[in-house]
Amino acid sequence: MGNPISHSRSPQIHQLFAQQCGERIDYSAILVDLGGFAQAVGNFHASGGRGLNVTVPFKEEAFALADTLTPRARLAGAVNTLLLHDNHAIEGDNSDGVGLVTDLQQNQQQTLAGKRILILGAGGAVRGVLGPILEQQPLHITLANRTPSRAEALAEQFQPHGSINGGGYEALNRVAPFEIIINGTSASLAGELPPLPDSLLTGQSFCYDMMYSAEPTPFMRWAAERGVQSSDGLGMLVEQAAESFWRWRQKRPQTKAVIEQIHSM
């Protein structure tokens, strides 16, 4: 469920998972009117629906609607996966963070432990991934955002979980390079790039854009022009879907082939 939703790749991803795992599913994209989310979930549940993914702009509403929350959903303050139980109870989970960490570590072969990580943005997506990234015990996370106060507030909230600070882009002119830079802003959607000095990179840095598109994003082009490896966020999308599938069906799909198939579609 989302709004807009027509661009979603999730129905194709879950159909491929179901084929691979020998499961019968009916997973389709449901466009929900703003203000109609709780009603739509109730109708879906009553008609026999057993699981839902939730995307923009309903992740906070899904968080509020759930009767119980997993610890990672509670920390994220947002829910992207609902489990609709037989006793009418609704459980909220969040698989976005584990999706990103799995893509970075297993598919992109990036170790997070002990690394200096820069994360751009301080919106819902960044909030969702901070807990699972901090669990991997990076050396330090710097958050940079267009509205510095949002990054400062988010960093303060997560300080009990690890070493993290937040601020604006201007401060990035005075810091040492990072091993991993993650773009969690929606700037790429508008074909834009946050102001980033070249001094953030070394030849060994790795750049990851949470957005995915057929063409390299402006952030990925910025990295490539400086000889730095990068990835888009399609792997994250497939990995968070696999985690949701696992929660619903207790079967863990193989993701590598699915990422390749979705890339080539």
Torsion angles phi and psi, residue 106, rounded to 5 = -90, -40
In the list 53, 110, 145, 205, the residue contacting ligand NDP (rule: CB under 6 A) is 145
Task: Residue 172: name the closest of 142, 210, 202, 140 by CA.
Answer: 142
Residues 6+ apart with CB under 8 A from 85: 91
In the list 102, 184, 223, 244, the residue contacting ligand NDP (rule: CB under 6 A) is 184
59 part of the active site? yes
Are 72 and 98 spatial neighbours (Cβ–Cβ below 8 Å)?
A: yes
Range 114-133, binding ligand NDP (CB under 6 A) = 121-126
User: Can you read off the two tokens belonging to residue 63?
Assistant: 């968080």
How many residues lie near ligand NDP (CB under 6 A)? 29
**Cα–Cα dist 45/48, whole Å:** 5
Range 36-65, binding ligand NDP (CB under 6 A) = 56
**Cα–Cα dist 136/142, whole Å:** 15
Residue nearest to ligand NDP (CB): 123
User: Can you read off the two tokens belonging to residue 57?
Assistant: 């702009």
In the list 61, 96, 179, 243, the residue contacting ligand NDP (rule: CB under 6 A) is 96
Q: Which CB atom, from 91 or from 103, has the smaller least distance to ligand NDP?
A: 103
In the list 79, 187, 200, 201, the residue contacting ligand NDP (rule: CB under 6 A) is 187
CA dihedral 32→38→43→49, nearest 10 degrees, is 90
In the list 211, 258, 259, 262, the residue contacting ligand NDP (rule: CB under 6 A) is 211
Q: Does 237 bind ligand NDP (CB under 6 A)?
A: yes
In the list 94, 95, 185, 255, the residue contacting ligand NDP (rule: CB under 6 A) is 185
What is the largest distance, in Å, between two alpha-carbon atoms of the chain? 57
Are 187 and 218 spatial neighbours (Cβ–Cβ below 8 Å)?
A: yes
**Cα–Cα dist 262/240, whole Å:** 14
Q: CB under 6 A: which stretch of 11-19, 68-76, 82-90, 189-197 binds ligand NDP?
A: 189-197
Query: Which residues here bind ligand NDP, judged by CB under 6 A?
Result: 56, 96, 99, 121-126, 145-147, 150, 184-190, 192, 194, 210-212, 233, 236-237, 240
Residue numbers annotated as active site: 59
